[in-house]
Amino acid sequence: QVQLQESGQGVVKPSETLSLTCTVSGGSISSYYWNWIRQPPGKGLEWIGYIYYTGTTNYNPSLKSRVTISVDTSKNQFSLKLSSVTAADTAVYYCARGYCSGDSCYSWFDYWGQGTLVTVSS
Amino acid sequence: QSALTQPPSVSGSPGQSVTISCTGTSSDVGSYNRVSWYQQPPGTAPKLMIYDVSNRPSGVPARFSGSKSGNTASLTISGLQAEDEADYYCSSYTSSTTYVFGTGTKVTVL
């Protein structure tokens, strides 16, 4: 059974960089695409971006200038960096797998981590 | 990209049917059969319930069904049960090769 686990800072100061890692267990990080999704307290889901295991990325246009997603296939991990954070970036951050089969990838997220709360505060 | 529009809340009695709408544009919902739905009980991670408009993953009860017409997708829960009480979100692929979620709908079982 595939499992995803987020780890990283719980509190980040304004203007600094948020860094999170998602560790994938029970399956290989290869042959899928990997997403970061966030949810501010009491609000809805926001897609942040994805990375294919090959390293190809795509980001939400509203966050693109501040986001970097990277992958380390040797560790079965992928990571998120969000720079110049403000209070508006306070949220539960989820990592999620995008489904692929063979050479085709599809538009749904079938496995999710439990989420980690990141608070931006001085 | 703007969030897809969902009603804030819907409710129904056990055994009844409820339908949640998800309205987008011709750049997302209207152009692709790549709409998925997620269930999120309080304090938990979202769970995939429907993919590609109307397909159910293994293990999802048959009372959950999806459809689409034009720029609007819909999720119907038939035979509502107490365990279905949760927040529900739609998601769509977009013409920018990105993804966008809906605003979310709280389902209450009366």
Determine the residue of chain B that is closest to A36 in CA distance: B99
- Note whether B38 contacts A109, CB cutoff 8 Å: yes
* Cα B105 to Cα B95: distance, rounded to the nearest angstrom: 24
- Note whether B38 contacts A113, CB cutoff 8 Å: no
Identify the bridge partners of residue A16 per DSSP, sorted by sequence position: none
Amino acid at the residue B106: K
List the end-to-end C-alpha distance of chain B, in Å, as a whole number.
35
Q: How many CB atoms lie within 10 A of CB B16?
A: 13
Percent of chain B at pLDDT above 70? 100
Q: Which of A2, A107, A112, A117 to mutate to test binding with chain B, by most B CBs within 10 Å of its CB?
A: A107
Q: Which residues of B touch A35 (CB under 8 A)?
A: 99
Tell me the count of A-B CB pairs closer than 8 A. Answer: 67
Give the tens place of pLDDT for each residue, A11-44.
999 999 999 999 999 998 988 999 999 999 999 9
Give the tens place of pLDDT for each residue, B72-97.
999 999 999 999 999 999 999 999 99
State the pLDDT at residue A111: 96
The minimum CA-CA distance between A5 and chain B, rounded to whole Å, is 12
Q: Which helix (H) or strand (E) holds B63?
A: none
- Note whether A107 contacts B34, CB cutoff 8 Å: yes
- Note whether A107 contacts B99, CB cutoff 8 Å: yes
State the pLDDT at residue B1: 78
State the pLDDT at residue B2: 92
State the pLDDT at residue A105: 85
Q: Write out the DSSP string of chain A.
A: --EEEEEE-SEE-TTS-EEEEEEEESS-STTSEEEEEEE-TTS--EEEEEEETTS-EEE-TTTTTTEEEEEETTTTEEEEEE-S--GGG-EEEEEEEEEEETTEEEEEEEEE---EEEEE--
State the pLDDT at residue A100: 85
Q: For residue B42, what pLDDT band results from cuts at 50, 70 and 90?
A: very high
SS3 state of residue B83: helix
- Note whether A46 contacts B101, CB cutoff 8 Å: yes
Cα–Cα separations (whole angstroms), residue A107 to A71, A88, B90? 20, 27, 12
State the pLDDT at residue A98: 93
Q: Which of B47, B48, B99 is the closest to A47 by Cβ?
A: B99
* B58 shares contact with chain A (CB less than 8 Å): no
Q: Where are the beta strands (DSSP E) in B1-110?
A: 9-12, 18-23, 35-40, 47-50, 64-69, 72-77, 86-93, 99-101, 105-109
Q: Which two tokens stand for residue A82?
A: 């969000």
Give the tens place of pLDDT for each residue, A78-119.
999 999 999 999 999 999 999 888 778 888 999 999 999 999
